[in-house]
Chain A
Amino acid sequence: EPEVTQTPSHQVTQMGQEVILRCVPISNHLYFYWYRQILGQKVEFLVSFYNNEISEKSEIFDDQFSVERPDGSNFTLKIRSTKLEDSAMYFCASIGTKANSGNTIYFGEGSWLTVV
Protein backbone atom coordinates (compact mmCIF):
# COMPACT_ATOMS: atom_id res chain seq x y z
CA GLU A 1 0.00 0.00 0.00
CA PRO A 2 1.53 3.34 -1.00
CA GLU A 3 1.85 5.97 1.67
CA VAL A 4 2.50 9.64 2.20
CA THR A 5 4.95 10.31 5.01
CA GLN A 6 5.18 13.47 7.09
CA THR A 7 7.75 14.80 9.52
CA PRO A 8 7.77 15.84 12.25
CA SER A 9 4.75 14.15 13.78
CA HIS A 10 4.66 16.81 16.48
CA GLN A 11 6.47 20.12 16.86
CA VAL A 12 6.28 22.75 19.56
CA THR A 13 7.57 26.17 18.58
CA GLN A 14 7.76 29.65 20.01
CA MET A 15 5.54 32.32 18.51
CA GLY A 16 7.40 34.18 15.79
CA GLN A 17 9.68 31.28 14.91
CA GLU A 18 9.88 29.73 11.47
CA VAL A 19 8.60 26.19 11.01
CA ILE A 20 9.10 23.79 8.13
CA LEU A 21 6.84 20.78 7.79
CA ARG A 22 8.01 18.07 5.46
CA CYS A 23 6.14 15.58 3.34
CA VAL A 24 7.20 12.79 1.03
CA PRO A 25 4.32 12.20 -1.36
CA ILE A 26 3.84 8.99 -3.28
CA SER A 27 6.59 8.86 -5.86
CA ASN A 28 4.65 8.92 -9.12
CA HIS A 29 1.97 11.34 -7.97
CA LEU A 30 1.55 14.69 -9.65
CA TYR A 31 -0.72 16.80 -7.41
CA PHE A 32 0.21 17.72 -3.87
CA TYR A 33 -1.77 19.42 -1.15
CA TRP A 34 -1.51 20.88 2.31
CA TYR A 35 -4.56 20.94 4.54
CA ARG A 36 -4.88 21.93 8.17
CA GLN A 37 -7.25 21.03 10.97
CA ILE A 38 -7.52 23.23 14.03
CA LEU A 39 -8.48 21.17 17.09
CA GLY A 40 -12.19 20.47 17.09
CA GLN A 41 -12.77 21.99 13.66
CA LYS A 42 -13.07 20.64 10.16
CA VAL A 43 -10.22 20.11 7.74
CA GLU A 44 -9.42 23.22 5.67
CA PHE A 45 -7.66 23.49 2.35
CA LEU A 46 -4.45 25.51 2.32
CA VAL A 47 -2.74 25.01 -1.03
CA SER A 48 -2.41 22.73 -4.03
CA PHE A 49 0.78 22.28 -6.05
CA TYR A 50 1.24 20.93 -9.54
CA ASN A 51 4.05 21.05 -12.06
CA ASN A 52 6.33 22.81 -9.60
CA GLU A 53 4.02 25.68 -8.89
CA ILE A 54 1.03 26.60 -6.76
CA SER A 55 -2.16 25.81 -8.65
CA GLU A 56 -4.61 27.04 -6.04
CA LYS A 57 -4.48 28.53 -2.55
CA SER A 58 -6.97 29.52 0.10
CA GLU A 59 -7.27 32.84 1.89
CA ILE A 60 -5.61 31.18 4.88
CA PHE A 61 -2.45 30.73 2.81
CA ASP A 62 -1.13 34.27 3.21
CA ASP A 63 2.38 35.66 2.82
CA GLN A 64 3.52 33.85 5.96
CA PHE A 65 3.13 30.52 4.18
CA SER A 66 5.16 29.06 1.35
CA VAL A 67 5.54 25.67 -0.29
CA GLU A 68 8.23 24.14 -2.39
CA ARG A 69 9.37 20.85 -3.82
CA PRO A 70 13.12 21.35 -3.71
CA ASP A 71 14.41 17.98 -4.82
CA GLY A 72 11.60 16.21 -6.66
CA SER A 73 10.64 14.09 -3.67
CA ASN A 74 10.09 16.25 -0.59
CA PHE A 75 7.20 18.71 -0.48
CA THR A 76 7.54 21.29 2.26
CA LEU A 77 5.28 23.81 3.96
CA LYS A 78 7.04 26.74 5.58
CA ILE A 79 5.43 29.10 8.05
CA ARG A 80 7.68 32.13 8.26
CA SER A 81 6.66 33.66 11.58
CA THR A 82 4.29 31.44 13.50
CA LYS A 83 1.28 32.78 15.37
CA LEU A 84 -0.70 31.13 18.13
CA GLU A 85 -3.57 30.56 15.72
CA ASP A 86 -1.32 28.46 13.47
CA SER A 87 -1.55 25.68 16.06
CA ALA A 88 -3.19 22.85 14.18
CA MET A 89 -2.70 19.45 12.58
CA TYR A 90 -1.24 19.88 9.11
CA PHE A 91 -1.94 17.17 6.56
CA CYS A 92 -0.09 16.57 3.34
CA ALA A 93 -1.88 14.72 0.55
CA SER A 94 -1.12 13.57 -2.96
CA ILE A 95 -2.98 12.19 -5.93
CA GLY A 96 -1.73 10.57 -9.08
CA THR A 97 -3.69 12.45 -11.66
CA LYS A 98 -6.17 15.27 -11.94
CA ALA A 99 -8.39 15.15 -8.89
CA ASN A 100 -11.63 14.22 -10.61
CA SER A 101 -10.11 11.52 -12.78
CA GLY A 102 -11.13 8.63 -10.60
CA ASN A 103 -7.97 8.12 -8.56
CA THR A 104 -7.99 8.17 -4.83
CA ILE A 105 -6.22 10.73 -2.66
CA TYR A 106 -3.68 9.68 -0.05
CA PHE A 107 -3.10 11.59 3.17
CA GLY A 108 -0.13 11.59 5.46
CA GLU A 109 -0.54 10.95 9.18
CA GLY A 110 -0.29 14.66 9.90
CA SER A 111 2.09 17.00 11.67
CA TRP A 112 0.75 18.44 14.88
CA LEU A 113 2.06 21.99 15.35
CA THR A 114 1.77 23.71 18.70
CA VAL A 115 2.72 27.38 18.87
CA VAL A 116 3.37 28.71 22.38
Chain B
Amino acid sequence: KNEVEQSPQNLTAQEGEFITINCSYSVGISALHWLQQHPGGGIVSLFMLSSGKKKHGRLIATINIQEKHSSLHITASHPRDSAVYICALYGGATNKLIFGTGTLLAVQP
Protein backbone atom coordinates (compact mmCIF):
# COMPACT_ATOMS: atom_id res chain seq x y z
CA LYS B 1 0.00 0.00 0.00
CA ASN B 2 1.31 3.44 -0.94
CA GLU B 3 2.05 5.71 1.97
CA VAL B 4 0.86 8.70 -0.06
CA GLU B 5 -2.22 8.60 -2.27
CA GLN B 6 -3.30 11.40 -4.55
CA SER B 7 -6.56 11.95 -6.35
CA PRO B 8 -7.44 12.43 -9.06
CA GLN B 9 -4.56 11.04 -11.11
CA ASN B 10 -5.61 13.10 -14.12
CA LEU B 11 -7.68 16.25 -14.21
CA THR B 12 -8.83 18.34 -17.15
CA ALA B 13 -10.39 21.71 -16.42
CA GLN B 14 -11.61 24.71 -18.34
CA GLU B 15 -9.87 28.00 -17.82
CA GLY B 16 -11.33 29.82 -14.82
CA GLU B 17 -12.50 26.73 -12.98
CA PHE B 18 -11.76 26.08 -9.31
CA ILE B 19 -9.56 23.03 -8.93
CA THR B 20 -8.97 20.73 -5.99
CA ILE B 21 -6.32 18.04 -5.73
CA ASN B 22 -6.36 15.73 -2.75
CA CYS B 23 -3.64 13.90 -0.86
CA SER B 24 -4.12 11.25 1.79
CA TYR B 25 -1.35 9.59 3.70
CA SER B 26 -1.01 6.75 6.13
CA VAL B 27 2.10 7.60 8.15
CA GLY B 28 2.85 10.14 10.83
CA ILE B 29 4.44 13.19 9.30
CA SER B 30 6.39 16.21 10.35
CA ALA B 31 5.65 18.25 7.23
CA LEU B 32 4.03 17.97 3.81
CA HIS B 33 5.06 19.60 0.54
CA TRP B 34 3.01 20.42 -2.50
CA LEU B 35 5.31 20.40 -5.51
CA GLN B 36 4.82 21.41 -9.12
CA GLN B 37 6.54 19.62 -11.99
CA HIS B 38 6.36 21.12 -15.47
CA PRO B 39 6.77 19.12 -18.69
CA GLY B 40 10.46 20.02 -18.83
CA GLY B 41 10.90 18.06 -15.63
CA GLY B 42 11.97 20.64 -13.06
CA ILE B 43 10.34 20.45 -9.61
CA VAL B 44 9.37 23.49 -7.60
CA SER B 45 8.09 23.53 -4.04
CA LEU B 46 4.81 25.44 -3.84
CA PHE B 47 4.02 24.99 -0.17
CA MET B 48 5.31 23.31 2.92
CA LEU B 49 2.68 22.65 5.57
CA SER B 50 2.72 21.22 9.02
CA SER B 51 -0.70 22.52 10.05
CA GLY B 52 -3.58 24.70 8.94
CA LYS B 53 -3.67 26.58 5.69
CA LYS B 54 -1.38 28.58 3.43
CA LYS B 55 -2.18 30.85 0.51
CA HIS B 56 0.03 32.14 -2.27
CA GLY B 57 -1.65 34.03 -5.07
CA ARG B 58 -4.30 31.77 -6.58
CA LEU B 59 -3.02 28.71 -4.75
CA ILE B 60 -4.30 27.53 -1.39
CA ALA B 61 -3.08 24.50 0.53
CA THR B 62 -4.68 22.99 3.59
CA ILE B 63 -3.80 20.13 5.84
CA ASN B 64 -5.73 18.18 8.47
CA ILE B 65 -3.21 16.30 10.57
CA GLN B 66 -5.84 14.28 12.46
CA GLU B 67 -7.46 13.05 9.24
CA LYS B 68 -4.08 12.63 7.47
CA HIS B 69 -5.32 14.63 4.51
CA SER B 70 -4.20 17.65 2.55
CA SER B 71 -5.70 19.55 -0.37
CA LEU B 72 -4.32 21.91 -2.97
CA HIS B 73 -6.77 24.37 -4.48
CA ILE B 74 -6.28 26.54 -7.53
CA THR B 75 -8.71 29.41 -8.00
CA ALA B 76 -9.39 30.93 -11.43
CA SER B 77 -7.29 28.29 -13.18
CA HIS B 78 -5.23 29.23 -16.20
CA PRO B 79 -3.57 27.16 -18.94
CA ARG B 80 -0.18 28.02 -17.46
CA ASP B 81 -1.22 26.05 -14.36
CA SER B 82 -1.01 22.89 -16.46
CA ALA B 83 1.56 20.68 -14.78
CA VAL B 84 1.93 17.66 -12.53
CA TYR B 85 1.17 18.46 -8.90
CA ILE B 86 2.84 16.23 -6.38
CA CYS B 87 2.17 15.73 -2.71
CA ALA B 88 5.30 14.71 -0.81
CA LEU B 89 5.79 14.25 2.88
CA TYR B 90 8.42 13.98 5.53
CA GLY B 91 7.80 11.07 7.84
CA GLY B 92 8.38 11.66 11.52
CA ALA B 93 11.72 9.93 11.85
CA THR B 94 13.12 10.43 8.40
CA ASN B 95 14.82 13.26 6.61
CA LYS B 96 13.69 12.22 3.14
CA LEU B 97 10.64 13.15 1.10
CA ILE B 98 8.15 10.39 0.26
CA PHE B 99 6.46 11.26 -3.02
CA GLY B 100 2.94 10.68 -4.18
CA THR B 101 2.29 9.64 -7.77
CA GLY B 102 1.22 13.10 -8.82
CA THR B 103 -1.86 14.59 -10.44
CA LEU B 104 -1.59 15.60 -14.07
CA LEU B 105 -3.56 18.81 -14.53
CA ALA B 106 -4.47 20.17 -17.95
CA VAL B 107 -6.26 23.52 -18.07
CA GLN B 108 -7.82 24.21 -21.43
CA PRO B 109 -8.43 27.74 -22.72
Co-complex (A, B): yes
B29 to chain A, nearest CB (A): 8
Residue pair B41, A109 in contact (C-beta under 8 Å): yes
Contacts across chains A and B counted by CB atoms under 8 Å: 70
Residue pair A43, B41 in contact (C-beta under 8 Å): no
Which B residues touch A106, using CB under 8 A?
45
* B6 to chain A: closest residue by CB: A42
From A56, A102, A108, contact of B48 by CB (8 A): A102
Residue pair B97, A105 in contact (C-beta under 8 Å): yes
Q: Interface extent on A, as a size class?
A: 20 to 34
Which A residues touch B30, using CB under 8 A?
99-100
A38 to chain B, nearest CB (A): 12
Which of these binds chain A: B19-27, B61-69, B70-78, B88-96?
B88-96
Which B residues touch A55, using CB under 8 A?
95
Bound together, the chains give a CA A89 to CA B41 distance in angstroms of 8
Q: Interface extent on B, as a size class?
A: 20 to 34
Bound together, the chains give a CA A56 to CA B44 distance in angstroms of 23
Q: For the complex, is A75 an interface residue (Cβ under 8 Å from B)? A: no
* B44 to chain A: closest residue by CB: A107
B64 to chain A, nearest CB (A): 18
Which B residues touch A105, using CB under 8 A?
33, 45, 48, 97
Which 4 pairs of residues, A with B, have the shortest CB-CB distance? A100-B30, A107-B43, A43-B99, A109-B42
**Interface residues of A, Cβ cutoff 8 Å to B:** 31, 33, 35, 37, 42-45, 48, 50, 55-56, 89, 91, 93, 98-100, 102-110, 112
